[in-house]
Chains A and B, each alone.
Chain A
Amino acid sequence: MVARALRKSYGERVAVDAVDFAVEPGTCFGFLGPNGAGKTTMMKMIYGLATVDGGELQVLGMDVATQRREVKARLGVVPQETNLDGEFSVLENLIVQASYYGVPEREAEPRARELLDFCQLADRAEEKIWSLSGGMKRRLLVARALVNRPEIVVLDEPTTGLDPQARLALWREMESLKDRGVTLLLTTHYMEEAARLCDRLVIIDLGRIVAEGEPRELMREHDAETLEEVFLTLTGRHLREELVEGGARGIS
Chain B
Amino acid sequence: MSDLAPSARETARVAGRNARVFSKLWKGSLLPQFLDPLFYLVALGFGLGTYIASINGVPYKDFIAPGLIASAAMWSASFECTYNVYLRMNETKLYDAILATPIEVPDLVAGDLAWSSLRATIYGTVFLIVVAAFGLIDSWWALAIPPLVVIGGLAFSTMAYTFTALIPRIDLYSYFFTLGITPMFLFSGIFFPFDRLPAVAEVVAWFTPLYHMVEITRALAAGPPGADVLLNAAVLLAMSAALFAIPVRAVRRRLVA
A69 to B98, CA, bound (A): 12
Chief secondary structure at chain B's binding surface: helix
Q: Flag the segment in B49-57, B63-71, B100-108 that touches A.
A: B100-108
Q: Is the CB of A48 within 8 A of B100?
A: yes
Q: Within the complex, what minimum Cβ distance (angstroms) separates A220 from chain B? A: 37
Chain B nearest Cβ from A160, distance in angstroms: 16
Q: Is the CB of A50 within 8 A of B94?
A: no
Q: What residues on A are CB-neighbors of B99 within 8 Å?
A: 48-49
Number of interface residues of B (CB under 8 A): 25
Select the stretch in B13-21, B176-184, B194-202 that faces chain A: B13-21
B96 within 8 A of A: yes
Candidate in B20, B101, B103 with the most chain A CB atoms within 10 angstroms: B101
A100-B96 contact, Cβ under 8 Å, with A10-B257, A48-B256: no
Set of chain A residues within 8 Å of B14, measured between Cβ atoms: 100
Q: Are A83 and B93 in contact (CB under 8 A)?
A: yes
- Asked whether B102 lies within 8 Å of A100 as measured between CB atoms, the reply is yes
Interface positions of B (Cβ within 8 A of A): 9-10, 13-14, 16-17, 20-21, 24-25, 92-94, 96-104, 255-257
A interface residues (Cβ-Cβ under 8 A, vs B): 10, 47-51, 68-70, 72-73, 75, 77, 79, 81, 83-88, 92, 96-97, 99-102, 144, 148
What are 20 A-B pairs at a CB distance below 8 A? A47-B100, A48-B100, A48-B256, A49-B96, A51-B256, A69-B104, A72-B101, A77-B97, A79-B96, A83-B97, A85-B17, A86-B92, A87-B21, A87-B24, A92-B20, A96-B20, A100-B10, A100-B103, A101-B101, A148-B101
